[in-house]
Chains A and B, each alone.
Chain A
């Protein structure tokens, strides 16, 4: 393989992984922007959606039905999570909310282990997703292209949603100042629920693409995606939607870059380097690369 095709291959790789991170990161950033809640259980929505899709496929349904069912299941799980666990502690200290989301994660993961056993299962994906396109020495998996395409379409729709629709505008208002938004007559419960709904649906989409990519599902599958999405939101400035998307692509490229540049003995430490970068970033630009550098006012 020549250097040039290798470069293209890696670029596509970085773009597709960045797209998945971006779709995850948006859900985290939306909720954080309004509630100051870091929702770690967001990753488990991937798992809920993927297992649902798997079950529907096992029942003999075609993939597109399974995917729709999976995305719906993720969305429902997100809504229930908000209603049962997060609404009662709204306004609690940030750290209490973070810990609650940990508890929700433990709950969902262990429930999945209880129902499906901890062993991973094969996730059947249709051939259109697993095919590889060849141009000379260049091999591109169609899944990468689909991931990039889906992400771009969803990002455009999302941009239209937050800028053009009433709910979207209320959402931005709520993330700027929750109290003021409420005083303006915005139904905060509805806004928060829709943030969870949209974020969870995106997580469901990621679930389908992710499971097709790795070819299997397991109860702890949401853990690394949410960690990565979380790093992405920190890079972009927590609660900042364009920032989260940018951060996700930066992270995708950073990972592929580390993979390529680190000496072979150090590549297993890639995650360590990613989190080291996160810590350094938190120290110097705690509001992310797009965020303001202002200090807290008294």
Chain B
């Protein structure tokens, strides 16, 4: 098999970016290291969300529910036995004696979320447009209610703490690379074309013999799996969390990244995530007050959220397709002239 020059250039440049991140990671302060890890987690969240919302047109507002499932499942499994006895004294006996390492716990969280996605997807994937958005939001409300009230498993509304800090640069960026790879390959497979056909015109896709249900379910389950993985990574990064962190604020945050990057583009998701993560970190720092030398701006907590909301509305009004508008970044254009006659990637 001959690998096209274009792919080589793109992959090479991607590796360069990762190497750059790694260098920054080793040289920078622990604050920057934490930002790089949360960037990686956000990339997994947004790229996997894009598979269902952007490529398939199943606009889910409930993915944070899967994130919560991944986070809580993995955290319950990895919590050290001594802490389990203290924090979760009412765990069922078959769980009380379990202390797993990170990878199997993450995988179990992911698979559980995918199974739940399959279960609810069997019915929800029959809906479309606004209705699917609303029904998945209903799913989020249900997950939240369960988390808050299932004391024996989740400590209810109280903070779930003591999760071992297993998440490292390598775990996060390893999973992020895998997510990007899987979503990229899936989007470019025959399944991906079916997904986009369904998104663009469901009835026409059906008329062409595409199994709408199966294609949607595939996208929904795969994206639920990776979202839950991101949840598990996040749980072992933050180490203490409560159900309210898996609700509408988080939902809005990842959707902002998705929309800013442009739905239906993997590189757009990565770009949008990077832009919004960096921007929100900057704003969060600015919130604490800025000293401009001659004038001191007082701290205004919450202002970053307000600005994000304004940015979001402006993007929807003036740039409704996002930064990339469904196209992909092609680094090779910097070096070789794109072929005019046919799209070379097809």
Give the residues from 253 to 294 in chain A that come closer than 8 angstroms, CB to CB, to chain B.
Answer: 268-269, 271-272, 275-276, 278-279, 282-283, 286
Chain B residues with Cβ below 8 Å from A99 are 255, 259, 312, 316
Question: Do A92 and B306 form a contact, CB below 8 Å, given A114-B300, A283-B127?
Answer: no
B114-157 CB contact bits vs A (8 Å, 1 = yes)?
00000000011011011101110011011001101100000000
Can you identify 10 A-B contacts, CB atoms within 8 angstroms?
A38-B130, A95-B59, A102-B248, A110-B305, A110-B306, A111-B306, A275-B138, A275-B141, A275-B142, A282-B135
Question: Do A107 and B124 form a contact, CB below 8 Å, given A92-B316, A113-B302?
Answer: no
Query: Main SS of chain B's interface residues?
Result: helix
B208: Cβ under 8 A from any A Cβ: no
Partner of B305, one of A89, A106, A238: A106
Give the residues from 224 to 268 in chain B that come closer than 8 angstroms, CB to CB, to chain A.
Answer: 248-249, 252, 255-256, 259
Starting from the known contacts A94-B129, A107-B310, A268-B145, 4 additional A-B residue pairs (CB-CB under 8 Å) come to A110-B309, A275-B138, A276-B142, A282-B131
- Interfacial residues, chain A to chain B (CB-CB below 8 A): 36, 38, 85, 88-89, 92, 94-96, 98-100, 102-104, 106-107, 110-111, 113-114, 223, 227, 230, 234, 238, 268-269, 271-272, 275-276, 278-279, 282-283, 286, 296, 298
The answer on a CB contact under 8 Å between B302 and A234 is no
- Tell me, rounded to whole Å, the shortest Cβ–Cβ distance linking A9 to chain B: 26
Question: Do A286 and B312 form a contact, CB below 8 Å, given A95-B59, A268-B148, A276-B142?
Answer: no
B317: Cβ under 8 A from any A Cβ: yes
* Most chain B CB within a 10 A radius of its CB, from A99, A104, A114: A99
Chain A residues with Cβ below 8 Å from B129 are 94-95
B112: Cβ under 8 A from any A Cβ: no
- Tell me, rounded to whole Å, the shortest Cβ–Cβ distance linking B66 to chain A: 16
Partner of A96, one of B148, B256, B316: B316
The answer on a CB contact under 8 Å between A279 and B138 is yes
B287-312 CB contact bits vs A (8 Å, 1 = yes)?
00000000000001111011011101
- Tell me, rounded to whole Å, the shortest Cβ–Cβ distance linking A113 to chain B: 5
- Tell me, rounded to whole Å, the shortest Cβ–Cβ distance linking B124 to chain A: 7
The answer on a CB contact under 8 Å between A38 and B134 is yes
Chain B residues with Cβ below 8 Å from A276 are 138, 142
**How far, in whole Å, are A170 and B306 apart by their CA atoms in the complex?**
36
**How far, in whole Å, are A30 and B161 apart by their CA atoms in the complex?**
45
- Tell me, rounded to whole Å, the shortest Cβ–Cβ distance linking A263 to chain B: 13
The answer on a CB contact under 8 Å between A269 and B146 is yes
